[in-house]
Amino acid sequence: MLKTFRIGGVHPPENKLSAGKRIEVIGLPKQVAIPLSQNLGAPSVACVAKGDEVKVGTLIAKAGGFVSSNIHSSVAGKVAKIDEILDASGYRRPAVFIDVNEEEVWEESIDRSETLIKDCPLSSEEIIKKVAEAGIVGLGGATFPTQVKLSPPPGSKAEMLLINAVECEPYLTSDHELMMEKTEEILVGISILMKAIKVDKAIIGIENNKPDAIKLMTDRCRQYTGISVQPLKVQYPQGGEKQLIDAVMGRQVPSGALPIAVGAVVQNVGTAYAVYEAVQKNKPLIERVVTVTGKSVVKPSNYLARLGTPISMLIDAAGGLPADTGKVISGGPMMGKALTSIEVPVTKGCSGVLIMPTLEAQRQKMQNCIRCAKCVNVCPMGLEPYLLMSVGEREIWDRSEKERVMDCIECGCCSFTCPSNRPLLDYIRISKSKVGAIIRSRK
């Protein structure tokens, strides 16, 4: 029996249309818009001004707090303006606009050769400092600044590094393709991460629907001490941090605690690659792999795109926006964000662009809850979504808190499975933000 997490879960149709498509590099746009808020936590503070010349890799915004990250220019050019741009959610957020020069000039410190550098002589602190300077965030989509995750709070000790290569979201294949093409780099990156958190064991969790990646990684990881591959049963949301720890290590992170409480640090496989580039090649996080996919997309593909490239350019490269487009989603279908416009830029957290036809995009009509308990059965956190929704609708926040609404990981299994098409997660998410505010105000 393959390992998986123990509570709940669903298995949506996988639809990995772009699997096996090699990563293509997307050309540069005329102008990039790099939002200043690309990570979880505080937004970054711009440190360039209008008219400044920047090279590829020049620091343009510094971390705006402890939980924040640096942002670097993804192109060479001139800062056109620092203005507001519509972000994925239709609100205006500050961004740095850079007019792209024809000639591409890179920062001199960046090593652009393809040669693999295996040895890393740096100490743990030096690695973490380099990761912070490179502006690396969790590339699975949560965009939590990586350096914060690598510095465990005092008193806790990591035992093991888990590499999240699960990619449990349907449609997305960017991590899969990265593993196939940058295998060695990822493994070196994992070794560096192990050194950073001072552990001698790392396990890469990969779902069983990627047998080629499992085979390749298993073959290659023999040359690296302490790294092994754990194939996992296909089950959503295995890519959730707590679910992955449960699946691989058989330990459950207590409510409200961090993974470090059970001795685990989880990093995405894409993050491991970014760490390799930052530490060994001095290359900050300026580009990422983005899957562009959808049932009516002409050419579902995996692209390497510079941050700030408009999503419309990626869609054009994949054959243009299909006529029956109903919804464009940044991320996967279970947790991704529906976009209001395709002109928004690629950001650090954008793992895929999913284009859904109109027919699939519309939700069905909501009906009465028939208390079938299916949401309770699939909830990976062991919550009762039907109850959380009804207390959320009635705004009984103390009851919500007591029913552990804050444990919800917003995976969407409940809404996915509900036979009455009830918007369970919509209300749970609202409850979470209200209850979270109440808890913060108590302190």
Does 429 contact another protein by CB under 8 A?
A: yes
* Contacts to another protein from residues 337-356, by CB under 8 A: 337-342, 354, 356
Pick from 145, 300, 333, 349 the residue near another protein by CB under 8 A: 333
Question: Is the peptide bond prior to 237 cis by the omega test (within 30 degrees of 0)?
Answer: yes
Alpha carbon distance 203, 251 (integer Å): 14
Options 34-42, 128-136, 175-183, 333-341: segment touching another protein (CB under 8 A) = 333-341
Does 423 contact another protein by CB under 8 A?
A: yes
Task: Show the CA angle centred on residue 209, arms to residues 207 and 211, nearest 5°.
Answer: 90
* Contacts to another protein from residues 379-398, by CB under 8 A: 379-384, 386-387
Does 253 contact another protein by CB under 8 A?
A: yes
Cβ at position 398, least distance to another protein in Å: 15
Q: What is the DSSP string of 421-440?
A: ---HHHHHHHHHHHHHHHHH
Pick from 2, 117, 257, 437 the residue near another protein by CB under 8 A: 257
Closest to another protein by CB, 43 or 380: 380
CB 311 within 8 Å of CB 343? yes
Task: Show the CA angle centred on residue 148, arms to residues 90 and 304, nearest 5°.
Answer: 55
CB 236 within 8 Å of CB 10? yes
Does 436 contact another protein by CB under 8 A?
A: no
DSSP helix/strand/coil, 397: helix
Q: Which contiguous run of DSSP H or E holds residue 163?
A: strand 160-165
Does 437 contact another protein by CB under 8 A?
A: no
Does 107 contact another protein by CB under 8 A?
A: no
Question: Is the peptide bond prior to 29 cis by the omega test (within 30 degrees of 0)?
Answer: no
* Contacts to another protein from residues 223-242, by CB under 8 A: 242
Closest to another protein by CB, 123 or 362: 362
Pick from 376, 390, 397, 406 the residue near another protein by CB under 8 A: 376
The total number of residues shown for the chain amounts to 443
Does 90 contact another protein by CB under 8 A?
A: yes
Alpha carbon distance 310, 299 (integer Å): 18
Does 295 contact another protein by CB under 8 A?
A: no
Does 218 contact another protein by CB under 8 A?
A: no
Does 358 contact another protein by CB under 8 A?
A: yes
CB 139 within 8 Å of CB 186? no
